[in-house]
């Protein structure tokens, strides 16, 4: 067979499958191979590849006949097309599978790279959040008030002063202890928050009252590291500090429809007309950063709601997917 005729035959297959490649890629995109559905997807690829290969092989037979048989006056019959398809369509199945597998390999690699990028972004975001938390926690005003309280207690209540120093040390230690973790258990987060609240409780004495209502099943749930302290500090600053009478801060955590719902309530004055929730995001302690971290970790599967409490005061509601060790949801699953 002359080289030109052989090239014509081979390029016929090449161009036919080049034209059909978008269809193969579409089928691969609609039938992803995942751990939960790989058998179903693989079985569906079989009839698609057979039908597509039969059609392309039949078209290839027509194109070959136009170049060879038509010039020689040979008729094109259904029988000749059928014999040709039966003898050659299996090659088309192999080409179909090769294109599909290449598509899967590229997509898996792209998702792997996106996962790496997302991990790096989360690590950078965590570092930024930790630095921001330390900046807030070690704010000169906070340290001044804490040290001033310790100094005052040394002359009249040495035991309380010693306790405050101990809690301040625990506060700083716990801040750095989980510095490499994106998420901690709610119980670990509450240990850190308890240190912070005990320091503030000594500062405000009987003006700060706290109440905890944590469902037992929620203590092992994962929450973002250092997520509650900025919310509670905001409640103390705007709900407790301005008043001279005792104020109450309530923290509630419960499982709700597959999510972990945490609410922080105070009985302060709430939001006035000029202090909107947008104002708090701009001026509040870490609220904007808190929203950014939640978006990075959970995508659209989270809620951070700030509003006045109908019963009086202000309420912050945080909802994230309920998960424990080894069951952290990915963004793609949440979406």
Q: What is the pLDDT of residues 284-316, one digit of tens each?
A: 546 777 887 788 788 889 999 988 888 888 899
Q: Are 288 and 320 in contact (CB under 8 A)?
A: no
Give the residue among 201, 306, 217 at the shortest CA–CA distance from 263: 306
Could you read off the pLDDT of 154-213 as tens digits, one per residue?
A: 887 788 888 888 888 887 777 677 666 778 899 989 988 888 888 888 777 788 899 999
| Per-residue DSSP letter, 221 | S
| Phi and psi, residue 179, nearest 5° | -65, -20
Tokens read off for 99: 């294109």
Using the predicted structure, report yes or no on whether residue 253 has a pLDDT greater than 60. yes
The CB density around residue 180, as the number of other CB atoms within 10 Å, is: 11
Tokens read off for 7: 């090239």
How does residue 320 score in pLDDT terms, banded at 50, 70 and 90? very high
Highest mean pLDDT among 4-8, 12-16, 156-160, 215-219: 215-219
Collect all residues with Cβ–Cβ distance below 8 Å to 297 and sequence separation of at least 6: 122, 182, 183, 224, 320
Map tokens 């909107």 to a residue: 276
Q: Are 203 and 161 in contact (CB under 8 A)?
A: no
Between 189 and 70, the higher pLDDT residue: 189
> What does the pLDDT average to over 51-66?
84
Q: What is the mean pLDDT of the chain?
A: 80
Could you read off the pLDDT of 98-146 as tens digits, one per residue?
A: 888 898 899 888 888 888 888 888 877 776 666 565 455 445 556 676 7
Map tokens 């905001």 to a residue: 234
How does residue 265 score in pLDDT terms, banded at 50, 70 and 90? very high
- Determine the pLDDT at residue 250: 94
The CB density around residue 147, as the number of other CB atoms within 10 Å, is: 13
């Amino acid at each position: 067979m002359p080289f030109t005729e052989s090239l014509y035959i081979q390029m016929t297959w090449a161009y036919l499958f080049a034209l059909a490649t978008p269809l193969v890629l579409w089928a691969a995109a609609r039938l992803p191979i995942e751990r939960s559905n790989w058998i179903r997807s693989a079985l569906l690829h079989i009839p698609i590849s057979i039908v597509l290969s039969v059609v392309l092989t039949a078209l290839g037979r027509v194109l070959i006949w136009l170049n060879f048989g038509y010039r020689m006056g040979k008729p094109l019959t259904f029988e000749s097309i059928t014999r040709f398809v039966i003898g050659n369509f299996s090659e088309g199945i192999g080409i179909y599978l090769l294109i599909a597998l290449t598509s899967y390999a590229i997509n898996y690699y792209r998702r792997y790279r996106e996962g790496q990028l997302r991990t790096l972004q989360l690590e950078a975001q965590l570092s930024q959040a930790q630095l921001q938390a330390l900046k807030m926690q070690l704010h000169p005003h906070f340290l001044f008030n804490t040290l001033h309280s310790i100094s005052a207690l040394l002359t009249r209540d040495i035991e309380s002063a010693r306790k405050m120093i101990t809690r301040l040390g625990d506060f700083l230690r716990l801040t750095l202890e989980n510095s490499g973790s994106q998420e901690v258990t709610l119980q670990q987060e509450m240990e850190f928050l308890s240190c912070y609240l005990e320091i503030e409780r000594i500062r405000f004495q009987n003006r700060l009252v706290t109440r905890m209502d944590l469902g037992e099943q929620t203590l092992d749930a994962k929450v973002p590291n250092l997520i509650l302290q900025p919310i509670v500090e905001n409640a103390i600053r705007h709900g407790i500090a301005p008043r001279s009478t005792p104020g109450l801060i309530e923290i509630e955590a419960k499982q709700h429809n597959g999510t972990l719902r945490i609410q922080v309530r105070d009985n302060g004055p709430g939001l006035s007309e000029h202090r909107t929730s947008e104002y708090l995001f701009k001026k509040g302690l870490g609220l904007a950063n808190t929203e950014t971290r939640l978006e990075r970790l959970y995508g659209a599967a989270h809620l951070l709601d700030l509003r006045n409490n109908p019963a009086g005061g202000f309420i912050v509601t945080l909802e994230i997917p309920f998960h424990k060790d080894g069951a952290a949801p990915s963004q793609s699953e949440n979406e």
